[in-house]
Structure formats: C-alpha cells, structure tokens
Structure 1
Amino acid sequence: MDDKKDNSAASDGDGSSQLNLGNYTWPAGNSVGGMIPTKIHQLNLLSVFDAGENQLTGPLPSGIFVSMTSLRQLRLDKNDLSGTTSPPIVLSELEQLELQNNELIGEIPALPRTLTFCNLSSNMLQVVNASVCEV
C-alpha cells in the first residue's frame, strides 16, 4: 500500500503557485497554538483540513469558506478561535463542518446542501438553515 501524498506545487503562470496537499491533517489534538495562516485559502485543492483540538486563536481567515472549493471536511473544533463568520459558506463539496467549542459569533445565512454533519455548538452563532447542524 502506498501512503504517499501528492504534495506538489503547480505554477499558475503569474509567479504564484497552488499547493496540492490532498488530504491534509494539521496535528489535531497536539496543542498547536497561534493563528491560522491568512493564506490558508490558497490551498484550494485541499479536501480535508483537520486542526481540531488544538490551541489555535484569532479569527477565521476570510477566504476559508469561499476559496477552498475542494474541501469536504473542515474540523476546527475545540480551539480558541474568535470573531465573526461574516462570509457565507459556499463550499459546494463540504460534507462535514465542525466548529464547536470556540468563541465564534455571527450569523451563517446558509449551509451547503452537501453537508451531512455539522456541529457549531458552544459558540454564539445563528444559523438560518440548521437542519443538519447542531447549534
């Protein structure tokens, strides 16, 4: 069995690059601290991002719910994230969203129809369409 990941960088022709990490798990549950890098949204080929159960602080980067179009699982639960979730969640492939146990505030106007599991509890979030979401 080959467990290698495709961690290649491809040029966009303008000098920037897209990093393909495939299924990437940040060290979940390893007390990683600090802020989520603001350029995380450039990992638009990422399908799984798991940084739950750490000590991440600060706001969610503004492009995380818009630009990461291949994201199927986003797990940032049990951190110290704060601030508002102002942009709508327009990730058309998102199946799992876990943001519980943070200090997030704001309104989430709509959730993707692809979502099969969602937990936003222990925040101050309001979700307009929370049919699959624990709030």
Structure 2
Amino acid sequence: MIFKNIHIGQMINDRVAESGIEVSRICNFLKCQEKEIEEMYKAKSINTEILLKWSKLLEYDFFRIYSQHIILYAPSMVANNTKTKKSSLPQFRKNVYTKEIIDFILELIVTNKMTKDEVIIKYRIPKTTLYKWIIKYKKNEI
C-alpha cells in the first residue's frame, strides 16, 4: 500500500510522467536545474515548501498521502492516554476519509483481520460512519 512506505520523489516522478509536463517548465517553475529535479525524484522525502510547489505545478495534493498515513498508522490518541491541550495550531474536527481509506478499512473487516469494534477503536471511526460505509460500499460482503 502506498501509504505505508512513502517515497515522495518516486510519486512526484510518476505524476510528472502522467502529466507530460516538460522538464524546462518544471525547472522554470521551481527555479532550479534539471540535475536538482533528478535528485528530488530520488529523494524519499523533500522540503515542505518544495512539496507545496510540486503540488501546485502538478495539480495533486501530495500532502494528502502523509495525512492518509497518519490516519492509518499513527498511534491512537486514546491508546496514548494523552489529554487534549489547547494549541495555537489549527484544530481539525474531522478526518478526511478517501475512497482508499474506506476500502482499506472495509477490507480489514471482510477478511476478518479486525472486527467492527476493533476498527472503531483503533482508527477512531464513529460507529455510525462505519455502518454507513458498510451499507454504501459493501452491501452484501460483510
């Protein structure tokens, strides 16, 4: 699964190939040389400011890949017993569940790797949300 082991340079390279954008345009937009772009393709991670530029140029939200990783693989706040502290950073009320995340969660249930209750606890998905997904996406499989 692409969300577990992220190699952002490879993903950028794949997106460039899909979009057909010329290297000269990329160099001009990022204000760098072709050699630097090749190095970015080889990099497992890159600077967020540069990643933001890539996202704009390629019209693809590369940050969402990291968000999905956090949703799937970060330890639960409940499991850590951490209390919510006030923060100056923005607080997000809802997780963003993509089709890939929904499919992943439902696959865990269908293959009996996790029960519905285990999914609800581990991924902090509201019970009503999970059951709506089951009805909407996997009517007869679960």
Common fold: TM-score over 0.5: no
Judging by fraction of residues, say which structure has more helix.
Answer: 2
Q: Which structure exhibits the higher relative contact order, with contacts defined as CA atoms closer than 8 Å and separated by 6 or more residues?
A: 2
Judging by fraction of residues, say which structure has more strand.
Answer: 1
The TM-score, its normalising length taken from structure 1, stands at 0.29
Higher CA-based Rg: 2
